[in-house]
Amino acid sequence: MAALTGRDFLSLADLTSEELSQLLTLAADLKSGKVQSDRPRKILGLLFRKASTRTRVSFSSAMWQIGGQVLDLNVQLTQVSRGEPVKDTARVLDRYLDVLAIRTFDQAEVVEFAHYADIPIINALTDQEHPCQILADLLTVSEVFGGLEGLTLTYLGDGNNIAHSLLLGCALAGVNIRVATPPDYVPDGDIVLKARAIAGDRSEVIIIDNPQEAVEGAQVLYTDVWASMGQEDSAESRIPIFEPYQINNQLLARADRQAIVLHCLPAHRGEEITDDVMEGPQSKVWDQAENRMHAQKALLVSLLGE
C-alpha cells in the first residue's frame, strides 16, 4: 500500500513515481476484489463550490464501499457561503471529519485548508489541477495496455486543469505526453517545467500546436471541453479556434491502430469529440468514468491508513 497515511493530495506532484504506481496497483486490486478494505466510522466531507456528477457520486460510493460515511457539505447551507474565513472553517471541520475533499476554483483555497487542518485534504478539482481524474485515467490506460511506461498519450484542446494534471501524472508514470493546443491556450509554463523535471530522460513532454502531428502513432487520445466551468461566456468564440483539435475519425486514423479515446466528461458531442468516436469501439470513456470510483477508493484507503 502506498505510504500516504495522513497526507494531503493537492497535486499529482505530491506523489513519487513509486507512490503513484502503488496507488494504481491498489486501485486495480480493490476493483478486482483481490484486496478488501474496511474503514468503519470514518467520515469523508465533500465541500464543493462547483457542480459535480462523477466526482460527488464516485467519492460517495467509494467511501461507502470501504465502510465509511459521507457528509455532503452544500456550500450554500454552510457559513462558507456567508464569508467565513477558510482558516476558521478548516479548523472546525478538522475536528469533525477524517478526510475532506474540496472542489473549488482557486488552488490557493485547498492549500490554505491543508495548512490549517490536520486531516488529509484532497483536491477534488481546482482551476489549476484535477489530480483525482488522472488517477482514474492512468488506471484505465494500464488496464487496456497492461502497463504505462513507454506509451504515448496525446491531449487535444485547452491547456486547462486536466492538461496540467496529465502532464504531471504522465511524467510520473513514464508515459510520453503530447499536449496539443492553439498557441494562445497552452498549459501553464511552470507546470510544464515541473513535468519535464519529473520525467527526466524517462519520457517526453511535448507542447505542440499541430493536432495531426500530435496524434501520430499515439496509443491514447484524450480531450476535454473547450470552455471549462467559469468560462461559459467565451464558449462560442472558442469553437472556431479549437475546431482543428476535435477528436474525429480522421484524426483517430493517424493514431496507433490500437489507440483508445478518453474524455473526462461531461462532453459536448460534436465539438471536442464526435458522437461516432465517443460511441465507437476505441472509446474507453465509460470504463474511465467507472474508474474514478476505484481510484478514489484506493486514495481514501491510503490516506486514512489502517
**CA-based R_g, the chain, Å:** 19
Q: What per-residue confidence (pLDDT) applies to 234?
A: 83
Domains 12-129+292-304 and 133-288 belong to one CATH topology: yes
246-268 tens-digit pLDDT: 999 999 999 999 999 999 999 99
Q: What is the CATH number of domain 133-288?
A: 3.40.50.1370
Task: Examine the residue annotation and report whether 224 is marked as an active-site residue of this protein.
Answer: yes
pLDDT band at 225 (very low <50, low <70, confident <90, very high): very high
C-alpha cell at 88: 476558521
Residue 145 has pLDDT above 70, yes or no: yes
Residue 188: CB partners within 8 Å, gap ≥ 6?
128, 159, 164
Q: Is the peptide bond before 266 cis (omega within 30 degrees of 0)?
A: yes
> Domain residues of the chain, as ranges?
12-129+292-304, 133-288
Answer whether 0.85 is exceeded by the pTM.
yes
Q: What per-residue confidence (pLDDT) applies to 2?
A: 52
Residue of 306, 266, 261, 269 lying closest to 287 (CA atoms): 261
Q: What per-residue confidence (pLDDT) applies to 75?
A: 86
Task: Examine the residue annotation and report whether 264 is marked as an active-site residue of this protein.
Answer: yes
Could you say which of 128, 137, 264, 288 is catalytic? 264
91-111 tens-digit pLDDT: 999 999 999 999 999 999 999
Averaged pLDDT for residues 27-48:
95
Task: Examine the residue annotation and report whether 130 is marked as an active-site residue of this protein.
Answer: yes
Could you say which of 133, 219, 288, 296 is catalytic? 133
Could you say which of 39, 49, 54, 103 is catalytic? 103
* Fold exhibited by the domain 12-129+292-304: Rossmann fold (3.40.50)
Task: Examine the residue annotation and report whether 196 is marked as an active-site residue of this protein.
Answer: no
Task: Examine the residue annotation and report whether 103 is marked as an active-site residue of this protein.
Answer: yes
Q: Name residue 47's beta-bridge partners.
A: 102
Cβ atoms of 287 and 196 closer than 8 Å = no
Task: Examine the residue annotation and report whether 76 is marked as an active-site residue of this protein.
Answer: no
